[in-house]
Structure 1
């Protein structure tokens, strides 16, 4: 059976990854694969004059959408693909890859997965996770400092220089084309901020129902 391809998008640190994982759990016992657009950043560190503090990682062209599109199409055709691994500290694509096999449902998650018309044509269902800018900035700040070795100043500078304007230009318009909009006005910033943690299972439940209906319609 041809897999159901689901896109999950939203602003940086909107909670879309957590939402996608909750959706995967709710779809059990269906076989589900998660593909993160973040792993498909281009290998820009080898480019002449590359400066990670000035490079626009939030522009659509920063991602290798040609490779991502090829992998989605191959998975739809029942083929296995080798997904890349990206190192956010060195800004390089690692030599090792991740084997992704076909499944009942493929969830593709990332900030630009609805910004590319060629990618949009591949989805059976698209979901936009809508979270306020202040929540997204708080979560991004904590994540990048703890997990990616960034300084607070560099995270805020990047947010103001590229993240915010690129969100408005490329990601936010996805709310108009998405099949389903999920309002996440208290996305969890960290385990210490449990007051900001909604039930992602509850948020993902409507999408799980729609995906199961799509599966039944294909039987």
Structure 2
């Protein structure tokens, strides 16, 4: 199994990069694991308290469970990926079954911050993007998908998103084998990644 980690700041275009890579392959060739699924459950807190949580801090992710799931997939075992709601900020009762494939893509802003998880990756990618572009995307996404208004998004960006990006996320560039500027718009970088995956699949 070829394991690829794709990190980068929130709104950098990671999901678009993953989507464009996956489009080049059959469903039975590539599995995707998002660390957004592994946020700790906060159902014991009030909704207001949940929304105050820093989702850009490594401590917000249940890395032990995610690492265990990656190891099981590498062993050829299927796993039950948690389902997390950003509207209620809680982990849901249902799970998604993820089957082992020839290629596993791990995607998330913090996926390169954990050394044990990094060591399970064959290729590490950092998707880079200007902060003003990321902020614009975050505002649009959080309003449309996460039930927040502009004031809430800007407050959260100032208090947690930007400081955590500087402290935790941007420094993980040094672990990357490939840095992809412009996210999903960088067709050449996506093609290079796709070609490498194809070469790996052809060798197996």
Q: Same fold (TM over 0.5)?
A: yes
- 1:10-66: per-residue Cα shift (whole Å, max 9, x none)? 000101011011111224486101111111100023158971342211110101111
- Contact 1:127–1:182 (CA<8 Å) still a contact in 2? yes
Change over 3 Å in CA distance of 1:29–1:86 after alignment to 2: closer
Deviation for aligned residue 1:202: 4.1
TM-score of the two chains, using structure 2 as the length reference: 0.93
**For structure 2, which runs of at least 5 residues remain unmatched after alignment?**
none
Matched, 1:207 2:188: no
Tell me what 1:150 maps to.
Answer: 148
For the Cα contact (< 8 Å) 2:81–2:95, is it kept in 1? yes
Higher strand share: 2
Corresponding residue SS for 1:42: coil
State the match for 1:52 in structure 2. Answer: 50
Query: 2 CA distance for matches of 1:18 and 1:76?
Result: 25
RMSD: 1.9
Question: Does residue 102 of structure 2 align to residue 116 of structure 1?
Answer: no
Match of 1:194 in 2: none
Normalised by the length of structure 1, the TM-score is: 0.87
Name stretches of at least 5 consecutive residues in structure 1 with no aligned partner.
188-196
Q: Give the deviation of 1:104 after TM superposition.
A: 0.8
Q: How many residues end up aligned between the 2 structures?
A: 204
Residue 43 of structure 2 aligns to a residue whose secondary structure is: helix
Select 2:133's aligned residue among 132, 135, 152.
135
Given that 1:60 and 1:115 are in contact with CA atoms closer than 8 Å, whether structure 2 keeps it comes out as: yes
Say whether the 8 Å CA contact 1:6–1:107 is kept in structure 2: yes
Separation in structure 2 between the aligned mates of residue 111 and residue 123 of structure 1, nearest angstrom: 15
From 158, 167, 170, the equivalent of 1:169 is 167
